Amino acid sequence: MPRVRLDEPRNYFNRHESWLAFNRRVLEEAQDEGNPLLERVKFLAITASNLDEFVEVRVAGLLQQVEHGNQLAGPDGLSPSDQLQRLATEIHSFVASQYECWNQKLLPALAREGIRILSVARLDRTGKDAMDLFFTRRVDPILTPVTIDPSHPFPHVINKALCVGFQLRHHSKPGTPYLGVVTVPRKIARLVRVPSKRDSIDYIFLHDLIEAHTRNLYKGYHVISSGAFRATRNSNLYLHEEESRNLLIIPMIHTSLWSLSLSRRRAIRRCFPSGRPFIGRTKTLPSFEPWWRLPRARKSP
């Protein structure tokens, strides 16, 4: 039997690709019709949370290596740049599989069990009135609409916070483009239960409800387009050599200062629904050219 060469790259799996393969096995549990339906939904949510952590730590670490000129190949023969290219392809494929699972398998299965996720436009009069009241009492008081123009900088987007962007035109200045941004509050559940006279259990997405009430948020503006987006930021601890020496002297780092530094790290991944590329076209948002365009999540029939 020939001896295995330890210096042969083909004898090694890439550690990051192995992790993505593990997450795909979790996704297979969501696709497995033999599992209970709500457990399948939970598995899909786990894959999304896992992917966020993977991007903000592992992909961020590779980007930091590239930025500092590190092109040393690992045992698998791949440099940090090579790994980033391969991971980008795999992540695109994985996200497409996630949305295929949600749109083509889980949503129809939920609808068959009487659980529907609807758009605001498909609500009946009772549902719309209830959601209007819910928005006025619960949502609107905690929203902070921001309007950006060429003279006002884009606000800081919190790591993994879902936001809604609006491309606006002011009635008094039709030639000047504006961008509005609203952060979806985390204090309220992403899915809002809608009262229904039917036997079904109906929900709408919170960001859809916010989009539907644009007139209340931006009075005096005409909305050209809108869509949800989010940014995943670098959460990987990386220290220069000089900083690491200083840390040997400093007994502790204050938790609040560390949390603040994390919240302002660079965006690694920007996501928004395909078919709504207004964010990438807006001149007031040059730093948000998309890395990944996500398939649009459909509502259940």
| Domains of the chain (ranges, CATH numbers) | 1-113 (1.20.58.310), 126-301 (3.30.1840.10)
- Note the pLDDT tens digit of each residue in 176-232: 778 888 888 999 999 999 988 788 899 999 999 998 888 888 888 888 888 888 877
Residue 80: how many other CB atoms lie within 10 Å: 21
The answer to whether the pTM exceeds 0.85 is: no
Sites in the chain below the pLDDT cut of 50: 238-245, 247-260, 262-264, 277, 280-297, 300-301
Contact between residue 66 and residue 81 where contact means Cβ atoms under 8 Å apart: yes
Sheet holding 115-117, edge to edge: 115-117, 201-205, 191-194
Alpha carbons 115 and 252: distance in angstroms, whole number: 50
Is residue 272 a contact partner of residue 292, using CB atoms and an 8 Å limit? no
